[in-house]
Amino acid sequence: MRKSKKGSLLADLWELIRKKKSFVYGDLTAKKEGHDMAFHAWFAALGRAGYIKQVSSSIYIRERTYVLVNDTGKLHPIFRQNKGKDIGASVYDQNTYDEVFIKGARVRQENRYKSAIDAFLSEHREFDYERFKHTLFANPKHPKGFDYALMHYYLDALVVRGKIEEFEKHRYRSI
């Protein structure tokens, strides 16, 4: 995992956002000079990923008010413009190790996975990997074309976040 550098533009802005909780866009741009398109893309990605929410509108972006709605920790989220049309862009959270896809075909696919996996987990406190895989892939209600790699990624993310644990090789249980 790459750590944020103290004093970097995004680290400083994230710290300011966390401190203020409610802020005007112009306050952020006034703190640092020489903002480039990368900053604007990062800020827009925070909104699409659900970290910030616009609460007032204005024809001028500098006068718009935003609030922090998802404070996950000290390290700032990283905006990734992933190569390839199937993946799209994402926001990686250095605090929770979670990645939120915000545009592209992968967003639709990931949302289908999450809902199907969450439904399975709500019905089963303990399960083995083979039962899990068979249930997900054999159920006609679940989306076609499940991607094994994405399924493993989501299971690993649930383990890291403490939602499930692997108590034996390929055996999981809800925590």
Last residue of a domain, one of 26, 48, 81: 81
Q: Is the pTM of this model over 0.85?
A: no
Same structural domain, 70 and 114: no
* Residue-level pLDDT at 110: 64
Any domain includes 34: yes
Any domain includes 51: yes
Total residues found in the chain within this entry: 175
First to last CA, the chain: 25
Same structural domain, 118 and 167: yes
**DSSP string of 1-62, one letter each residue:** -PPPPTT-HHHHHHHHHHHHSEEEHHHHHHHSS---HHHHHHHHHHHHTTSEEE-S--SSGG
CATH number of the domain at 76, please: 1.10.10
Q: What digits encode the pLDDT tens for the residues 124-145?
A: 788 777 777 777 666 655 555 5
CB neighbour class for 65 (10 Å; exposed up to 12, middle 13-18, buried from 19): middle
Kind and range of the H or E run holding 65: strand 65-68
| Cα–Cα distance for residue pair 142/130, rounded to 1 Å | 16
pLDDT band for position 66 (cuts 50, 70, 90): very high
Same structural domain, 75 and 17: yes
Any domain includes 50: yes
Domain that holds residue 167: 104-174
Average model confidence (pLDDT) across the chain: 77
Any domain includes 46: yes
Any domain includes 1: no
Any domain includes 88: no
CATH number of the domain at 143, please: 1.10.10.10
Same structural domain, 54 and 109: no
Same structural domain, 68 and 120: no
β-pairing, 171-174 vs 65-68, is unpaired
Domains: count for the chain = 2
Same structural domain, 76 and 36: yes
pLDDT band for position 3 (cuts 50, 70, 90): very low
Same structural domain, 60 and 117: no
Any domain includes 27: yes
Any domain includes 86: no
Same structural domain, 60 and 116: no
